C-alpha cells in the first residue's frame, strides 16, 4: 500500500495571525491553450503563507480542473504540492459548480468515495472524473477526490476514527493537494484485491460500505497521464541562506530526461523500496529504515531523545539552546550512500522572532511514528533540483527513485 503523508503545519498555527483568503477562482469556459513551440512542461511554485495566511513551509501551485470533453475549466490556486501522496484532491468550495458540471463515479448505481489517510488526518469525499491541466500539460479524464461536498457529509466512523477530518480550508490550510509521488495510483493492489481496505467505499443516500476498487478507478497520479513528460517530476527551489524568509518561488518541472530543462545529469540518486518508497537514514549509528522524502511535510521529522523538545503547543518540535548542525548518511536500497548535513533550530524562537515568515529552513520536529521514520520534508528541498521518478516509467532503471543536485 502506498504511503501517504501531509503537512504538520497545523501544529504551529497558534503562533500566527489568521488572514483568511479567497478560495479557488472560477476560470470560466476556457479552451486549452495552444502551446506552439514554447516549452511549458512546468508550473510556477511558491512557498508562502498560503490561502489561510498562517502556513509555514507550504509549497503551493495553481492547477486547472476541467470537465471532460467540455471547455468548462476552473483555476484553483493554493494547491499543496506533495511528493508524499498520490493524486488530486480538491475542496468542493474551490469548485463552485462541482455538483452541476462534474459527475461522481459510480459502481452499481452507488457513488465511489474515499477515506484518504495522512499523518495529519483523513480526507473524506467522492470521486469525480476530470481533466487536470497544469500549464502546458494535460491529464485527461482521470479520477480525483472532492472534499467537503454536502453529498458526502456523513463520514463513516471507521474513517473519522483515524484522525482529524481535513475537509475545509481551515483544517487543510490549502484549496487542495497535488499528489505527485512515485506511484501511479493512491492505493494500488491493496485496494483492488481487498474489500476491507479502509480506503474506498460505495455510498448510497443513507450509508457507505467498504469496496475493492480496480486500479484504473482509483485516484491517479496526474503526471503519469501526461502525453510525453510523464515519467517523473522535478521540484526546483532556490537556496535559503537566511534563518527565515517571507516567501520564495521556483518551478515544478514535468518529465525526467524528456526535455532540455529536465535532464538528471549527475544528480545523486537514491533508489527506494518498490512498495513503500522508503530508504534508510543513518544517524548517530542508528538506521531509520522507514525514511522518506515528502514535500508536503513542512519540516524534517525524526526521533532523538537527546535533543531538547519544545513545550506547550510546539511540543512536537525541537528547541535546542542554539542551532545544531547534524550529519547523516542517506542509504538507498541499491547501496547508494551519501553524506548530508542539516540544521536544527529552536522552533519556539523561530516562530516568535519571525512570525510572518513562511519559509523556515531550520524547522525540525519529532517523528512520532514507529521510531524508524525519518521524514525529509520541505526544508530538504530548498536549494535543490529534486527528482521523483514514477513507477513503471523508468528513465534509466526499472526501480523507483528520488534524486537531488
What is the reported pLDDT for 21? 28
pLDDT at 22 over 60: no
Return the C-alpha cell found at 154. 456523513
Find cell 509549497 and name the residue: 59
Strand partners, 155: none
pTM of the predicted protein model: 0.91
DSSP summary character for residue 348: H
pLDDT at 33: 40
- Is residue 400 predicted with pLDDT exceeding 80? yes
Q: Any idea what the Cα angle at residue 268 is, between residues 41 and 234, rounded to 5°? A: 15
Among the residue ranges 33-42, 92-101, 362-371, the one predicted with the least confidence is 33-42
Domains of the chain: 9-225 (2.40.70), 258-404 (2.40.70)
Cβ proximity of 112 and 202 under 8 Å? yes
Q: Confidence band (pLDDT; 50, 70, 90) for 96?
A: confident
Cβ(349)–Cβ(364) below 8 Å:
no
109-157 per-position pLDDT tens digit? 899 999 999 988 999 999 999 999 999 999 999 999 999 998 888 899 9
Whole-angstrom Cα distance, residue 356 to residue 359? 9
Q: Which three cell numbers stand for residue 31?
A: 479552451
Cell numbers for 399:
526501480
Element (H, E) at 159: helix 157-160
Give residue 396's pLDDT.
61
- Per-residue cell: 164: 482529524
Quote the cell numbers at residue 26: 472560477
Provide the greatest CA pair distance for the chain.
60
pLDDT of residue 395: 59
Lowest mean pLDDT among 6-10, 189-193, 309-313, 383-387: 6-10
| pLDDT in the model for residue 101 | 82
> Could you give the C-alpha distances from 138 to 41, 63, 132, in angstroms and in order?
10, 10, 6
**Run of H or E including 98:** helix 98-101
Work out the burial of residue 175: count CB atoms within 10 Å of its CB; fewer than 13 is exposed, 13-18 middle, 19 or more buried.
Answer: buried
Lowest mean pLDDT segment, chosen from 96-110, 281-295, 380-394: 96-110
pLDDT at position 230 is 96
The whole-angstrom separation of Cα 148 and Cα 118 is 16
Tens digits of per-residue pLDDT, 42-60? 999 999 999 999 999 999 9
- For residue 82, the surrounding DSSP H or E stretch is strand 73-82
Q: What percent of the chain has pLDDT over 90?
A: 79
Task: Report pLDDT for 16.
Answer: 32
What letter would DSSP give residue 216?
Answer: G
Question: Sign of the C-alpha dihedral, residues 15, 19, 24, 27?
Answer: negative
Amino acid at each position: 500500500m502506498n504511503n501517504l503523508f501531509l503537512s504538520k503545519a497545523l501544529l504551529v498555527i497558534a503562533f500566527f495571525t489568521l488572514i483568511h483568503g479567497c478560495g479557488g477562482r472560477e476560470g470560466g469556459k476556457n479552451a486549452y491553450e495552444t502551446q506552439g513551440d514554447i516549452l511549458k512542461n512546468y508550473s510556477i511554485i511558491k512557498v508562502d503563507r498560503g490561502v489561510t495566511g498562517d502556513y509555514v513551509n507550504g509549497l503551493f501551485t495553481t492547477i486547472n480542473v476541467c470537465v471532460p470533453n467540455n471547455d468548462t475549466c476552473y483555476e484553483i490556486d493554493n494547491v499543496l504540492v506533495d511528493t508524499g501522496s498520490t493524486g488530486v484532491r480538491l475542496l468542493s468550495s474551490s469548485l463552485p459548480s462541482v455538483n452541476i458540471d462534474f459527475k461522481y463515479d459510480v459502481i452499481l448505481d452507488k457513488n465511489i468515495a474515499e477515506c484518504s489517510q495522512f499523518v495529519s488526518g483523513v480526507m473524506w469525499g467522492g470521486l469525480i472524473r476530470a481533466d487536470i491541466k497544469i500549464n502546458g500539460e494535460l491529464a485527461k479524464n482521470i479520477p480525483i477526490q472532492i472534499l467537503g461536498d454536502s453529498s458526502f457529509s456523513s463520514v463513516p466512523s471507521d474513517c473519522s476514527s483515524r484522525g482529524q477530518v481535513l475537509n475545509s480550508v481551515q483544517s487543510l490550510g490549502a484549496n487542495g493537494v497535488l499528489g505527485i509521488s512515485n506511484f501511479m495510483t493512491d492505493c494500488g493492489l491493496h485496494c483492488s484485491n481487498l474489500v476491507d481496505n479502509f480506503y474506498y467505499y460505495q455510498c448510497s443516500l443513507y450509508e457507505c460500505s467498504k469496496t475493492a476498487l480496480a486500479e484504473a478507478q482509483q485516484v491517479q497520479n496526474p503526471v503519469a497521464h501526461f502525453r510525453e513528460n510523464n515519467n517523473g517530476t522535478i521540484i526546483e527551489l532556490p537556496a535559503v541562506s537566511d534563518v527565515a524568509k517571507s516567501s520564495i518561488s521556483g518551478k515544478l518541472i514535468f518529465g525526467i530526461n524528456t526535455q532540455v530543462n529536465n535532464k538528471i545529469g549527475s544528480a545523486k540518486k537514491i533508489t527506494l523500496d518498490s512498495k513503500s518508497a522508503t530508504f534508510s537514514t543513518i544517524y548517530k549509528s542508528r538506521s531509520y529504515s522507514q525514511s522518506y522524502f515528502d514535500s508536503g511535510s513542512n519540516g524534517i521529522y525524526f526521533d532523538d531523545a537527546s535533543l531538547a523538545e519544545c513545550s506547550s503547543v510546539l511540543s512536537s518540535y525541537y528547541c535546542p539552546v542554539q542551532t545544531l548542525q547534524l550529519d547523516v548518511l542517506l542509504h538507498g536500497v541499491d547501496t547508494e550512500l551519501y553524506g548530508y548535513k542539516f540544521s536544527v533550530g529552536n522552533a519556539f524562537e523561530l516562530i516568535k522572532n519571525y512570525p510572518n515568515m513562511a519559509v523556515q529552513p531550520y524547522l525540525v520536529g519529532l517523528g512520532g511514528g514507529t521510531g524508524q521514520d525519518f521524514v525529509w520534508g520541505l526544508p530538504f528541498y530548498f536549494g535543490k533540483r529534486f527528482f521523483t521518478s514514477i513507477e513503471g516509467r523508468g528513465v534509466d532503471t526499472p526501480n523507483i527513485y528520488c534524486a537531488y543536485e
